[in-house]
Structure 1
Amino acid sequence: MSRYVPPKQGRVGQFLDVAVLLAMTFGALYAPLYLGLAGSSKSVPAIGEATWESLGQNATQVAQYQALGLTDPAAAAPIILARYDYGFSWLALAVMFVVVIGYYVMMLRLSDREYRDVIAEKFDGSNGRTRR
């Protein structure tokens, strides 16, 4: 049996592959943000007169907020009172599973011949094992 020789790829093809992979990576990272599917939504409850005491802050915490430049309790109130929404969509989760599993199935199907060639080279009769 002849030894497996992987297909050769030129520099232009390699550059194109890298460019496509980079575009796909950045697209996968930024598309959910641009489409409004990611990021946390937060709500800030309304408060009347904001004081450090009404915000539940002690002297040490007040000193740290003042070190950050937030000397007014009203300016710090949205940061302190922000509550994040941790809900998610079951439909979006199911779609994500389908996309990820579909990607792996597609990759296995597209590279099936190369996998079989490498397995045949490594395990076909060279060390007594038989191909099944």
Structure 2
Amino acid sequence: MAAEYVPPVQKGFGQLVDSIFLLVLVYCSLLAPLLLKAPDKPVQADAVKTQVSWRELGQNAAMEAQWRKLGYGSEQAKPIVTSKFNYEIEPVSLTVTALAILSYFVFVLRVSERQYRQVIAEKFQE
């Protein structure tokens, strides 16, 4: 009669290392866009000097109130409101991200295969 299978238990230190590693990865992934941000384009002096109304910016009274709560006047908000989002894909960032995801996927597959083979060997050993 075969003994009941008892899977290996990860030690507390291993769980701590795994948790810290995952926290560092999450922190770095959230911080990376801030560190790799392209420098802002300088605002032209004549654009700031021109008086602009909230209506010209397409903002209604509720939007204006929210801008004021954030501490922005119409002149300060103009560059933010009128700038369009940049949806350009940066090939280097895309490649690095794809390689990181692919590397993690390969790592998980290899570790899983090793653990799977170990479980099979333990379960069906005679």
Same-fold call, TM > 0.5?
yes
- Quote the offset at 1:119 in angstroms: 5.6
Show structure 2 runs of 5+ residues with no match. none
Letter in 1 for 2:64: Y
Q: Which position in structure 2 is the counterpart of 1:90?
A: 91
Give 1:44 deviation, angstroms.
Answer: 6.2
Question: Does structure 1 conserve the Cα–Cα contact (< 8 Å) formed by 2:57 and 2:82?
Answer: no
More helix as a share of residues: 2
Match of 2:35 in 1: 34
CA–CA separation in structure 2 for the residues paired with 1:53 and 1:32: 31
* Structure 1, unaligned runs of 5 or more: 125-132
Aligned pair in 2 of structure 1 residues 104, 44: CA closer, same or farther (>3 Å)? same
Cα gap change, 1:25/1:6 in structure 2, threshold over 3 Å: closer, same or farther? Answer: farther
The residue number in structure 1 matching 2:110 is: 109
Name the aligned partner's letter for residue 76 of structure 1: A
Q: Provide the residue aligned with 2:64 in structure 1.
A: 65
Residues 52, 43 of structure 1: CA spacing in aligned structure 2 closer, same or farther, 3 A cutoff? Answer: same
Task: Return the offset for 1:117.
Answer: 4.0
* Shift in alpha-carbon separation, 1:13–1:98, aligned structure 2, 3 A: closer
Question: Are 1:11 and 2:17 counterparts?
Answer: no
CA distance in structure 1 between the partners assigned to 2:21 and 2:62 by the alignment: 50
Aligned-pair CA distance for 1:65:
0.8
SS of 1:17's equivalent in the other structure is helix
Identity %: 31
Change (3 A) 1:97 1:71: closer
Aligned pair count? 119
1:101, distance to aligned residue in structure 2 (A) = 1.2
Deviation at 1:104, TM superposition (A): 0.8
Matched residues in 2 for 1:78 and 1:87: separation?
A: 19
RMSD: 3.7
Give the Cα–Cα distance (whole angstroms) in 1 for the partners of residues 89 and 117 of structure 2.
41
2:100 alignment partner in structure 1: 99
